Structure 1
Amino acid sequence: MKIFFIICQTAILYGFFLLGEFIQGLLHISIPGSIIGMLILFSLLHVKWFRPRWIETGSHFLIKIMPLLFIPATVGAMDYLSLFRKYPSSLGIVFISTMIVIILSSAMSQRLNRNKLKKVVSEAEKEMSI
């Protein structure tokens, strides 16, 4: 049953990505569709029209496999070895930008987990005081 929830919730997240891609193509703007989709999801979560629990299991799954999601980008960079030989500084840029993404992603997920833990603890304390 958990696999079904993961598939459905990942499909919802993918739907936000596709919506962002559609809007980006429709309006011909330079912002990537994935960012637009993420902003739409963030906005819906912020105004509480969309509940986090609707995508919680799927997003936790994606966070768990996040290191695997970075491998294709790294392997794809191997296709451009001639570019790296011609412009060695581009190798540093790719490495630094990849490290920034990994660090920010892990910091954000840790912060979100900490906030969730604080919320659970405060709810438990409220229940204990009643």
Structure 2
Amino acid sequence: MLSLKQFVVFLAQLLCIWAIYMVSVYITDFYHLTIPASVLGMVILFFLLASGIVKVRSIEMAGAFLNKHLGFFFVPIAVGLMDFGGLIKTSGLQIFIMIAGSTIVGLLLTGSLTQLLAKGERKQHERHNSF
């Protein structure tokens, strides 16, 4: 059970995440961007965290809560798929291949980029320690 102080901190963190999302909604609407506001919000949050403007501890509790209950947020999407039964029957294999293929490409690119960045960081660390 959360204390009142912890609950207020949690709400403040959730408000921070929501505010970033609302900024991304405004940006996508104002500039007529085709990128979903939620994706832009994640990019904005990433840059805010990477630059140190927002500290991880500032959103950690709310982020952990949202991550813990992530599966719950996909239930309405899964239920909504029932409306597309005919499409899934006729094009289900193609849809599955596209989803699987894009997932594999995404994983490979993410893994390769992570290894490349880690390699560069290791080299920089070795150069720094050699002096």
- Is TM-score (shorter-chain normalized) higher than 0.5? yes
Q: 1:69 aligns with which of 52, 73, 76?
A: 73
Partners of 1:94 and 1:14 lie apart in 2 by 31
Partners of 2:14 and 2:98 lie apart in 1 by 28
CA RMSD of aligned residues (A): 2.3
Partners of 1:80 and 1:3 lie apart in 2 by 40
Flag as ranges the 4+ runs of structure 1 deviating above 4 A. Answer: 93-97
Unaligned stretches of 5+ residues in structure 1: 105-130
> Which of the pair has more CA radius of gyration?
2
Amino acid at match of 2:33: I
SS at match of 1:87: helix
Unaligned stretches of 5+ residues in structure 2: 108-131
The offset of 1:91, in angstroms, is 5.6
Q: 2:83 aligns with which of 55, 75, 79?
A: 79
Partners of 1:46 and 1:80 lie apart in 2 by 40
Matched, 1:20 2:24: yes
Provide TM-score, normalisation by structure 2: 0.65
Partners of 1:85 and 1:30 lie apart in 2 by 29
Partners of 1:90 and 1:33 lie apart in 2 by 27
Count of residue pairs brought into register by the alignment: 99
